[in-house]
Structure 1
Amino acid sequence: MINQFKGKRLVICINNKGNEASLEQWKVYQCLPDENAERHNEIRVIDEEGEDYLYPSGFFSPVSLEPSIAKIFIMQNSKNAQQA
């Protein structure tokens, strides 16, 4: 099981309070490493359009997938972001 692929981690949104327009609760998102954000208890999440934004890290929980599924998930999300 892996929880990251090519430096991108997978997380699931467990709380979108105050961010309902930009985060879908129970949706799996990709996130990027950001040490500065982590020091402030934030996480850098990639949205459907391929843009990344900071959110409170408590809004998310790590996700682990089989390597082949994680690769497909990340590649599909990247493809969808390019089409948007």
Structure 2
Amino acid sequence: MTKSRSKQLVICVDNEGYEASLEKRKIYVTLRDPAADKLGMLRIVDESGEDYLYPKAFFREIALPLAVKRAVLAA
């Protein structure tokens, strides 16, 4: 599996209580975490460059053409 397929891109639609860590309308990378998913959370690489759990309701999945997704993940 390629690196770009193992990560999902999402866009932040809410950051209430996490204003210092998340920016609305910004694209974030999620890391697969089945345990977090069961709790309604996503593991997000945030502004600090580290991954943390955030409420899944704060994000919407986005689908991008593969070339664009690769470019976003490489940035």
* 1:6 Cα offset (Å): 3.4
Structure 1 residue 7 and structure 2 residue 27: aligned?
no
* Partner residue, 1:61: 60
TM-score normalised per structure 2: 0.91
Distance in 2 (CA, whole Å) between partners of 1:60 and 1:32 is 13
Percentage identity across aligned positions? 41
Provide structure 2 residue ranges, at least 5 long, that are not aligned to the other structure. Answer: none
* Partner residue, 1:43: 42
Kept after mapping to 1: 8 A contact 2:21/2:47: no
TM-score normalised per structure 1: 0.81
Structure 1 residue 75 and structure 2 residue 71: aligned?
no
Structure 2 letter corresponding to 1:25: K
Q: What is the aligned length?
A: 73
* Partner residue, 2:28: 29
Distance 1:19 1:44, change over 3 A: same
